[in-house]
């Protein structure tokens, strides 16, 4: 086993993972529920950034449920985006023994 080659691969993977994490951190994902009546955005770290409510919505429990559903939708999309960004590195990490 060529240790220097292994170290270069590990350094390359570390750099790619750092770049991927920057992309993830910069994401802004919109979650939608109620056929667009409730929209919210979360950051790549999962923090709630804003909520937009359609003016036609009444102020009641249904609205609260729609907000929760929109957040779940955005979180699901964030996890998929993370998997898409990190996907190529998973294959690289599997090629490096012990990584």
Query: What pLDDT, in 10s, does the model give residues 19-55?
Result: 998 999 999 999 998 899 989 898 998 888 888 888 8
Q: Where are the domains of the chain?
A: 23-87
Do 71 and 40 touch, CB atoms closer than 8 A?
yes
**Topology of domain 23-87, per CATH?**
Ybab; Chain: A; (3.30.1310)
In the numeric block, which tokens belong to residue 14? 């570390």
CA angle 4-5-10, nearest 5°?
95
In the numeric block, which tokens belong to residue 85? 């960004």
d(CA 25, CA 97): 28
d(CA 63, CA 67): 6
pTM for the model: 0.61
Distance of CA 46 to the CA centre of its chain: 7
């Amino acid at each position: 086993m060529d240790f220097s080659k292994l170290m270069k691969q590990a350094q390359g993977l570390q750099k790619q993972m750092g770049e991927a994490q920057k992309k993830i951190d910069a994401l802004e994902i919109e979650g939608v529920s109620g056929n667009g009546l409730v929209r919210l955005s979360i950051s790549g770290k999962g923090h709630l950034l804003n909520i937009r409510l359609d003016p036609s919505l009444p102020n009641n429990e249904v609205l609260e449920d729609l907000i929760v559903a929109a957040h779940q939708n955005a979180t699901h999309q964030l996890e998929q985006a993370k998997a898409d960004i990190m996907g190529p590195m998973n294959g690289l990490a599997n090629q490096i023994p012990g990584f």
